[in-house]
């Protein structure tokens, strides 16, 4: 049991470090290099556990909780950075890609909403005009 606890503590410390590095703007590849893990493992450390992701998504009814646009795949975002854990659901919101980026770059919500519409409607070929 002690071995498993030690492994959990190590994972929590790596998760916290990965979150801090992501907040500083590092890519998953850069985080992986710094933590001596693969890019995929770095992404796993930052991503919430699947059951938490699905719960936050269900609470939000698959809509961005900032711009209210329906989204297929969103980000679980901490309202305020605590310890990087996902234990406090009141601290978590479900955001579209654009609003999540806006939280980290201070983009105006209307611009983020236009970007979300763009990604939701993009067919992968034509580049539509974005009206702000």
Domain co-membership, 54 together with 42: no
Domain count, the chain: 2
pLDDT value at position 54?
Answer: 93
The reply to whether 57 and 18 lie within a common domain is: no
Torsion region of 36: left, alpha or beta (phi above 0 gives left; psi -120 to 50 gives alpha): left
Both 119 and 74 in one domain: the answer is yes
* Domain shared by 59 and 109, yes or no: yes
pLDDT per residue as tens digits for the range 3-24: 334 447 788 888 888 888 877 7
Q: Could you tell me the residue range of the domain that residue 42 belongs to?
A: 1-47
- pTM, whole model, 2 decimals? 0.60
Question: And the tokens for 113?
Answer: 């909403």
- 56 and 85 fall within a common domain: yes
CATH number at residue 71: 3.40.1800
Residue 119 has pLDDT above 70, yes or no: no
25 and 53 belong to one structural domain: no
pLDDT tens-digit series, residues 25-61 = 788 899 999 999 999 999 888 888 889 889 999 999 9
Burial of residue 56 (number of CB atoms within 10 Å: 0-12, 13-18, 19+) = buried
Report the pLDDT averaged over residues 93-109: 76
In this structure, the answer to whether residues 52 and 114 fall within a common structural domain is yes
Say yes or no: 43 and 67 in one domain: no
- Please check whether residues 38 and 60 belong to one and the same domain: no
- Using CA atoms, how far apart are residues 88 and 56, in angstroms rounded to an integer? 11
Helix (H) / strand (E) element for 112: namely helix 109-121
């Amino acid at each position: 049991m002690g071995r498993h606890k030690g492994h959990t503590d190590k994972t929590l410390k790596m998760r916290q470090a990965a979150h801090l590095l992501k907040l500083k703007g590092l890519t998953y590849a850069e985080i992986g290099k710094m933590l001596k893990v693969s890019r995929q493992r770095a992404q796993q450390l930052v991503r919430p556990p699947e059951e938490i992701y699905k719960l936050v998504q269900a609470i939000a009814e698959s809509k961005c909780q900032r711009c209210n646009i329906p989204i297929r795949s969103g980000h679980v975002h901490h309202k305020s950075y605590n310890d990087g854990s996902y234990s406090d659901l009141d601290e978590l919101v479900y955001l579209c890609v654009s609003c999540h980026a806006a939280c980290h770059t201070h983009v105006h919500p209307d611009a983020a909403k236009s970007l979300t519409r763009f990604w939701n409607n993009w067919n992968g070929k034509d580049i539509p005009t974005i009206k702000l």
